[in-house]
Each structure stands twice: as C-alpha cells, then as structure tokens.
C-alpha cells in the first residue's frame, strides 16, 4: 500500500517536472527574452536603461520572494506539532526586529536610487533636438505636425490619420526627436511599446500643469506600432499609428519631398506619396505594416446586427 503510494508520488513528481520542462521549452524564449520578463525589445537608449532597471528589480524581487517563501514553508514543514510542549519562543528579539526593519529600508533606498537615476535619463531633454514633432491626439486618431518643415503653400507639413488610413509618424533614426503632445478633446495617451514609454496627451497641457513633451532617439531603422493608452471613448482601441524610423539620409529625402508639390496632383506630397516616390524597399511601404485600420462604419454594424 505504502509502496504503491510512493510510486504514485514519484510518477506525479516526474510528470510535474516533465510538464515544467515542456512549458519552458514551448515558450521558445531566448535568455535575453527571459531576462526582459515580458517586455518587448526596446529601440531607444532610454528603453535600454529601463529594461536594465526592470530586469534587476525583478531579480531582486524574486530573491526576496524565494527567501520569504522558504521562511514561510520551513516552520510549516519542519516545525509541525509534535507534542503538547510549546516550542521555543522568539518574540521581543531586538536584533531580529532591527534586522527586518533596516534591511527592507536599505532595499527600498537602493530601488529608489536606481529608479530616479533611470527616470532622469528618460526625461532628459536637450535644448536643440534634431527634429521636432507635434503629436495631436483626437477622438479617434492622431495628427503629426513637423513645425520646422513647410509645404510650398506655407503650411506646416502634417500627417493626419483617418478611418481608412493609419497615420505614419516618419522619423529619422539615431537623431534626437522632440515630441510635443497635445489633445484636441479628451485625454489620450501616446504609447509606443518598443519605446517602453507612454505619456498622457492632455487638452491644454499648460493649464493642467503637465510636462507635455519628451525626447528620445530611435537606435535602428524600422516600423513600430503605436497606440492610445488612455480609454478615450468608443473607438479608443482603434487609435493606432505607426512609427517609421528611416536612416537619416532617407528621412531628409522624405522631408524634401513633403516640402514640395507633387506634379501628379499639383498638391504637396502626402506621406504615402512621398514614401512611394522614394521607393526604398520595405521602409518605404506607403501604408502601415504593424497595424491596420478598423471598420468604424456604425451603420454597417447595425445592419449586420
Ligand atoms: Cu485616445
């Protein structure tokens, strides 16, 4: 009977270990991915410093967790009731009490120091960024203005998203970009997961006493999805955009076109027309590749029930 129970327990342990190994292997995670603890790969120096902080904070939390779990399980298993005698008591142990007050205080101080250090890096701004972009959130899309670039008719170069078209925020890689955030209506939030950064987009940010700008640099060319991260009404989930980071020479080419008149339409080049004209491969695809527009036609939905 007891041998039977032993083999059953042994089999259960083996099965649990095997399932654990399969679960780990099935995630297909590399060492670096595991150490990011669920975060996507960052594309800015700012995101790299945040990942380092996150990784070490989780490791510290896990070490504390393992010690706490061990201290909880140890008395449960090793000090089970064996008779009527009360075991040795440990209350009013001053050195133990001092230890568990001082050690957590040191841990909080260390975490605080590194958090402030990383926050200062992330919030750092230079007086002369390479590119300025005004990000305007509205129900339910985005508009990107480049205040330093004008079209032949004297207007600011602007890209506005529609229900049919995801707006592309075209930027140069390896340059300092300044984002000025503003809303036309309710509060939105500018979020690019690979930046590891989001910031609320307020109407009248000055009145709300909000720091409505931030700076970063994207350290590689590529396409990155952006989202609204503040519930802002019916079509909040559809407020996606795409950051398209081009090598600097291609960004110059892009802006050169956007500040000119397209002979085919006799109007300034749109974002899509400029990218098509550049014909530079997958970075110049004139529509978003990370996300697609949603059908916002309410009447069509009502008809289909
Ligand atoms: Cu929104």
Residue 137 belongs to domain with CATH number: 2.60.40.420
Residue 293: pLDDT band (50, 70, 90) is confident
Cα of 151 from ligand 1 centre, angstroms? 28
Cα of 163 from ligand 1 centre, angstroms? 14
Query: Does position 243 have pLDDT exceeding 70, yes or no?
Result: yes
Cα of 286 from ligand 1 centre, angstroms? 24
Query: Does position 300 have pLDDT exceeding 80, yes or no?
Result: no
Query: Does position 9 have pLDDT exceeding 70, yes or no?
Result: no
Q: 270 and 190 in one domain?
A: yes
Supply the mean pLDDT for the chain: 88
Structural domain count of the chain = 2
Does residue 254 sit within a domain?
yes
Cα of 108 from ligand 1 centre, angstroms? 35
Does residue 223 sit within a domain?
yes
Cα of 234 from ligand 1 centre, angstroms? 9
Average pLDDT over residues 112-131: 96
Cα of 148 from ligand 1 centre, angstroms? 26
Distances (CA, A) of 296 to 162, 184, 221, 293: 10, 20, 31, 9
Domain around 239: 131-293
Does residue 22 sit within a domain?
no
Looking at residue 109, its pLDDT comes to 97
Cα of 227 from ligand 1 centre, angstroms? 8
Residue 113: pLDDT band (50, 70, 90) is very high
Q: 275 and 164 in one domain?
A: yes
Q: 154 and 44 in one domain?
A: no
Looking at residue 26, its pLDDT comes to 67
Alpha helices in the chain (DSSP H): 2-27, 31-35, 45-78, 94-123, 248-258, 271-278, 298-303
Q: 162 and 259 in one domain?
A: yes
Are residues 115 and 107 in contact, defined by beta-carbon separation less than 8 angstroms? no
Q: 32 and 176 in one domain?
A: no
Does residue 305 sit within a domain?
no
Average pLDDT over residues 276-305: 76
Cα of 145 from ligand 1 centre, angstroms? 18
> How many percent of the chain have pLDDT more than 70?
90
């Amino acid at each position: 009977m007891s041998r039977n129970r032993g083999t059953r327990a042994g089999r259960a342990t083996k099965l649990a270990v095997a399932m654990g190994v399969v679960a780990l292997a099935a995630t297909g995670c590399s060492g670096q991915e595991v150490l990011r603890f669920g975060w996507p790969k960052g594309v800015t120096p700012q995101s790299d410093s945040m990942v380092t902080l996150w990784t070490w904070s989780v490791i510290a939390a896990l070490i504390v967790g393992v010690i706490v779990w061990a201290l909880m399980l140890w008395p449960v298993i090793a000090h089970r009731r064996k008779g009527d005698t009360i075991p040795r008591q440990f209350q009013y142990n001053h050195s133990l009490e001092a230890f568990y007050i001082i050690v957590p205080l040191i841990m909080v101080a260390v975490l605080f120091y590194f958090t402030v250090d990383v926050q200062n890096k992330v919030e750092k701004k230079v007086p002369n960024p390479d590119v300025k972009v005004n990000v305007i959130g509205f129900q339910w899309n985005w508009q990107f203005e480049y205040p330093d670039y004008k079209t032949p008719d004297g207007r600011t170069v602007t890209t506005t998203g529609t229900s049919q078209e995801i707006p592309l925020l075209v930027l140069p890689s390896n340059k300092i970009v300044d984002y000025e955030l503003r809303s036309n209506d309710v509060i939105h939030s500018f979020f690019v997961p690979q930046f590891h950064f989001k910031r609320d987009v307020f109407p009248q940010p000055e009145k709300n006493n909000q720091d409505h700008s931030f700076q970063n640099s994207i350290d590689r060319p590529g396409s990155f999805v952006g989202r609204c991260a503040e519930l802002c009404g019916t079509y909040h989930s559809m407020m996606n955009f795409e950051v398209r980071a081009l090598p600097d020479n291609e960004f110059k080419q892009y802006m050169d076109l956007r500040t000119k008149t397209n002979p085919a339409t006799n109007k300034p080049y749109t974002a899509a027309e400029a990218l098509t004209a550049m014909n530079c491969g997958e970075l110049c695809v004139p529509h978003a590749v990370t996300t697609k527009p949603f059908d916002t036609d309410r009447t069509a939905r009502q008809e289909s029930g």
